Structure 1
Amino acid sequence: MTVPKTPVLVLDCSDPEPLARFYATLLGATVAPADGDPDLLLLHTPDGPALGIRRDPGQAPPSWPRPEDSQQAHLRILVAPDALDEAEREAISLGARPVAAEQNGTRLDRRTDLRRYTDPAGHAFVLAPAHGAPDRVSP
């Protein structure tokens, strides 16, 4: 029998409170300190923990995208397909920075189904269409 587990992606940054507020507002989540770790904030949605933001005073912002590397790890936020434009406006108003998408040295049209950004601390994330039940976004 497998022991029950709850995976949580944790983003490191030098100042976790503003980054936690950014994602809490973007995801409609609440923020609470993690039990036993004063440097970790957990964002909770109605389904449970969704994301962690951890203080790391020596953390350097990621350098993505780099043409010579792959995208590396990123947060994928699923959105109803007809709400992508609205979600994009919301993310940018909160401080997200759009990232130009390129393929083989050619810039792709920004009006695609996948919207690429960095958060205020430089972590990569995308807004992607969720194809599933209209009342619940599923992977």
Structure 2
Amino acid sequence: MIRKLQAIALDCEDHVRLAQFYADLLGGRVVADPDAPDWIEVHGFEGTPLAFQRVDGYQPPEWPDQKRPQQVHLDFDVDDLDGEEKRAVALGATVLERADEIRPGANWRVYADPAGHPFCLCLH
């Protein structure tokens, strides 16, 4: 029987940069293993650790287009959507959609991380 989810891993071109983005976004810390130079993790925040794997020829998703679809996206609870959006963008995120401004009842906004993976900030 599986005990727990150990990590969520994302492919990317620059795993060190992407790990630092998420460490800064989540208040975590980057954990590197010198024996695994293409793998890095972020720990020290509430939730499952995130891992980042360097992949040659990485092609980012094109959201919402399905030419290169997202294969996974992350949702994060926040108390202040505007404040956390400003912080995420300052760290290198790109706003993809402010769903709360265009869809009645929506409580989330969609962003791309520096490697192009979509993620959402969701008003808790």
Per the shorter chain, which TM-score range?
Answer: 0.7 to 0.9
Unaligned runs of 5+ in 1: 131-139
- Is residue 94 of structure 1 aligned with residue 88 of structure 2? no
Aligned partner of 2:17 in structure 1 is 18
**CA distance in 2: counterparts of 1:84 and 1:63, whole angstroms:** 24
Query: Whose Rg is larger?
Result: 1
TM-score, normalised by the number of residues in structure 2:
0.81
Alignment deviations for residues 5-26 of structure 1 (CA, whole Å, 9 cap, x no partner): 3331111111111111111000
Partner of 2:53: helix, strand, or coil? strand
Counterpart position of 1:114: 108
Aligned position for 1:134: none
Measure, in 2, the Cα distance between the counterparts of 1:13 and 1:123.
9
- The 8 Å contact of residues 20 and 43 in structure 1, kept in 2 or not, is answered as yes
State the alpha-carbon separation in 1 of the partners of residues 41 and 19 from structure 2: 8
Match of 1:43, SS state, is strand
Q: Distance in 2 between matches of 1:9 and 1:35?
A: 20
Q: Is the 8 A contact 2:70 2:117 kept in 1?
A: no
Letter of the 1:37 counterpart: A
Residue segments in structure 2 that go unaligned for 5+ positions in a row: none
Q: Which residue of 2 aligns with 1:57?
A: 56
Q: CA deviation at 1:46?
A: 4.5
Structure 1 length as normaliser, TM-score?
Answer: 0.73
User: Equivalents in 1 of 2:2, 2:86: separation in Å?
Assistant: 41
Counterpart residue number, 2:122: 128
**Number of equivalenced pairs:** 122
